Amino acid sequence: MSSHKHTPISARHTEKPSFNAEQMAEVQRVIAQYPEGKSKSALIRILHMAEEAFGGWLSIETMDYVAEILKIQPIEVYEVATFYTMFNIEPVGKYVFEVCHTGPCMLVGSDNIITYIENKLGIKVGETTKDGLFTLKTAECLGACGYAPMLQCGKIFHEHLTPEKVDQIIEAYRSGNTNF
Amino acid sequence: MGRRILLEHDNVSGIETYEVYRKQGGYRSVEKAIKKMSPEQVVEEVQKSGLRGRGGAGFPTGMKWSFIAKPEGVPRYLLCNADESEPGTFKDRYLMEKIPHLLIEGMIVSSYALGCNQSYIYIRGEYMWILDILEKAIAEAYANGWLGKNILGSGFNLDLSVAPGGGAYICGEETALIESLEGKRGNPRIKPPFPAVKGLWGCPTVVNNVESIAAVVPIVNDGGEEYAKIGLGKSTGTKLISASGNLVRPGVYEIEMGITVEEFIYGDEWCRGIANGKKLKACVPGGSSVPILPHYLVCKTATGEDRLMTYESLADGGFASGSMLGSGGFIVFDEDQCVVRNTWNFARFYAHESCGQCSPCREGTGWMEKVLNRLEHGQGNMRDIDLLAEINKKIEGNTICPLGDAAAWPVAAAIRHFREEFEWHVNDRETSQKRNYGLVKEPSPIK
Ligand SMILES: Cc1cc2nc3c(=O)[nH]c(=O)nc-3n(C[C@H](O)[C@H](O)[C@H](O)COP(=O)(O)O)c2cc1C
Ligand code: FES
């Protein structure tokens, strides 16, 4: 509970992360969207990029690296990374399922879908499968209430979920067939 | 067919591309405003239109614009609020996904009216794929001379970019949004100073919802007076409604304000009634923050009049027997739903989303969640119901931003209308764990 408050950070990467040239150009493009001296505004966007580039989560090394790029103090990055719920500050599975469990989704059966996924993957909410493929989380309203129940995985919203549809989705991710 | 002015072309194939959008008359409002109108005239048209903010509070947009401070040599900013996180609301997403250029066109005209040369669309981080859609559309607008330097040879310059959030409902509150856009935690600021005076980077700033900004396009095209003819009374224009819950046909609908709630729920053109042939139990008509209405107050007001889809009619009866239009997040409950469970669910949402800055909200939302959790799970007692009302009073009005109020009001409303269902969870714990309560009885009128 109380996600926007004190979350300890401790997880580390062993290697220092580094954006490749293409990623760095994208970082610079984003920074240039803000006036001189206001590059800190690019922080959240860059954290999303860093998460994508460095294993789906933010280690202390990654956050320090982002601070270096934006020329701000590491604490300014930690503060933000721990406030926003989308950022993972612990390692996660390759695919993170975030199932919405807020009112409108609950009205049409999100609780059952969550239980179904738990049983299917053999994990509880908050856990990652042993093969490191899936992490299951719950999320608050994701803006798909009329197409519920739903889950988000990366940039993709899977909507109108039924047990059969969940089976198909999991199968697709398992086989690497992720062109939804 | 109801009148559609925002989503008029949503079914035209390829409308998300510049070419098709332009062919359907897109960007006309920019031509008209920049070539034929002064910024002040655009503001005037918006004032005449009676447009009220579509983000939830319903504050007149034209009036808000007239408040922006204009100190010499200080930049002003227009921020579009695409944070859309109020449970039950998914209309902005629909508009941006389907017709991204409509928002961009609205941003250009509105920035011109306000004298902004740099504007941002702040979008919730979970809508990352829509951010891609918007960036693509923005690039097309630049390529065709609608953005950048010296637009239409007028000397007006405008840069527009999109910034994602990172998952936080509170960033929909305008000052938290500004903090977030500055690359910080989303803690709301104390007002005053209002953003109109000191907003983004300490400069005068206007924050408007996606739908409000999009509505500026038809207002400029057809004139404020024409727009004001649509709708009913002070609820001018059309409204996007996000319909969810136990409906035959949930989804996003553009309605002309003034249609009846009954028509909206049961009409063929709209939601087509309650799913699975069930009965209506309750409705939250404006997003999770507004009071819940029991079935007998949904289609009729307490005085027996038809309830209409307008700001005024949905609020008819005040907190005693009314609710609010809010963000237009229209959530419908069938007879099998448990109001205690849903109230707990929403309380959990607010406890999760409180930014933690003010203790009444941080602690209060957590307490409400705990107490409702035990009531729902058959472990509560009678005093808990009154305790909730007490916690409520301690939060209401004692916090920097209205999130605390938004958490407190729905709980108060649920207890007001569904007290017997809450009490049943205490008096008949075992049964309450096995089945749902069903419909509440309509109180007999006091003569
Ligand atoms: C907790 C909280 C959450 C809010 N979330 C949103 C939101 O997601 N989208 C939005 O447009 N307005 C939201 N608002 C309202 C904004 O503060 C602001 O009033 C609105 O963006 C102004 O735009 P409008 O006048 O065009 O409606 C929220 C307000 C509060 C207190
Ligand atoms: S409640 Fe689940 S997406 Fe809105």
Distant-in-sequence, close-in-space partners of B208: CB < 8 Å, separation ≥ 6:
B53, B55, B61, B64, B78, B79, B80, B81, B110
- Write down the pLDDT at residue A124: 98
Task: Please check whether residue A137 is in contact with residue A99, taking contact to mean a CB–CB distance below 8 angstroms.
Answer: yes
Mean pLDDT of A153-160: 97
**CA-angle at B204, arms to B403 and B183, nearest 5°:** 60
Cβ–Cβ gap A2/B244 under 8 Å? no
CA atoms of B176 and B170, how far apart (whole Å): 6
Return the axis-axis angle of helices A43-53 and A60-70, rounded to nearest 10°. Answer: 140
Contacts of B192 (CB under 8 A, 6+ apart): none
Cβ contacts of B42 within 8 Å, gap of 6 or more: B33, B109, B110, B112, B113, B216, B220
What integer pLDDT is reported at residue B3 of this predicted model? 81
Write out chain B residues lying below 8 Å of A2, CB-based: 351-352, 354, 356, 362, 366
Q: How wide is the angle at C-alpha B424 spanned by C-alphas B422 and B427, nearest 5°?
A: 120
pLDDT of amino acid B447? 47
Pairing of β B235-236 and β B205-209: unpaired
CB contact under 8 A, A41 and B163: yes
User: How many angstroms separate the alpha carbon of residue B343 from the centre of ligand 2?
Assistant: 15
What pLDDT, on the 0 to 100 scale, is given for residue A2? 46
pLDDT, tens digit, 9 for 90 and up, residues B138-161: 999 999 999 999 999 999 999 999
Question: Contacts of residue B366 in chain A, CB cutoff 8 Å?
Answer: 1-2
* Whether B240 contacts B264, CB under 8 Å: no
Confirm if A44 and A76 have CB atoms less than 8 A apart: no
Contacts of A23 (CB under 8 A, 6+ apart): A49, A53
User: How do B329-334 and B280-284 pair as beta strands?
Assistant: antiparallel
Q: Which tens digits make up the pLDDT trace of A90-149?
A: 999 999 999 999 999 999 999 999 999 999 999 999 999 999 999 999 999 999 999 999
- Which pLDDT belongs to residue A13? 75
Q: Looking at this predicted complex, what is its ipTM? A: 0.96
Q: Does the beta carbon of B59 sit less than 6 angstroms from any atom of ligand 1?
A: yes
Q: How far is the CA of B85 from the centre of ligand 1 (A)?
A: 9
Contacts 24+ apart (CB under 8 A), B187-191: B187/B355, B187/B357, B188/B355, B188/B357, B188/B400, B188/B401, B188/B403, B189/B400, B190/B400
Cα A130 to Cα A92, A93, B381: the distances in Å are 11, 9, 42
Chunked mean pLDDT (size 10), chain B, 447 residues: 86 97 98 98 98 96 97 97 98 98 98 98 98 98 98 97 98 98 98 97 98 98 97 97 98 98 98 98 97 97 97 96 97 97 97 96 96 96 93 91 94 95 95 90 67
* Domains delineated in chain A: 9-83 (1.10.10), 95-174 (3.40.30.10)
A–B interface: beta-carbon pairs under 8 A: 172
Question: Which of B77, B79, B90 is the best substitution to test chain A (most A C-beta atoms within 10 A)?
Answer: B90
Distance, C-alpha B360 to centroid of its chain: 24
> Does the beta carbon of B121 sit less than 6 angstroms from any atom of ligand 1?
no
Average pLDDT score over chain A = 94
Distance CA A141, CA A119 (A): 23
Of A33, A35, A107, the CB nearest to B246: A107
**CA proximity to B113, closest of B173, B21, B32:** B32
Quick check: B243 and B253 in contact, CB under 8 A? yes
Question: Of A83-87, A175-179, B34-38, B191-195, which range is least confident?
Answer: A175-179
Pocket of ligand 2 contains residue A148 by CB under 6 Å: yes
Residues of A in contact with B243 (CB under 8 A): 146
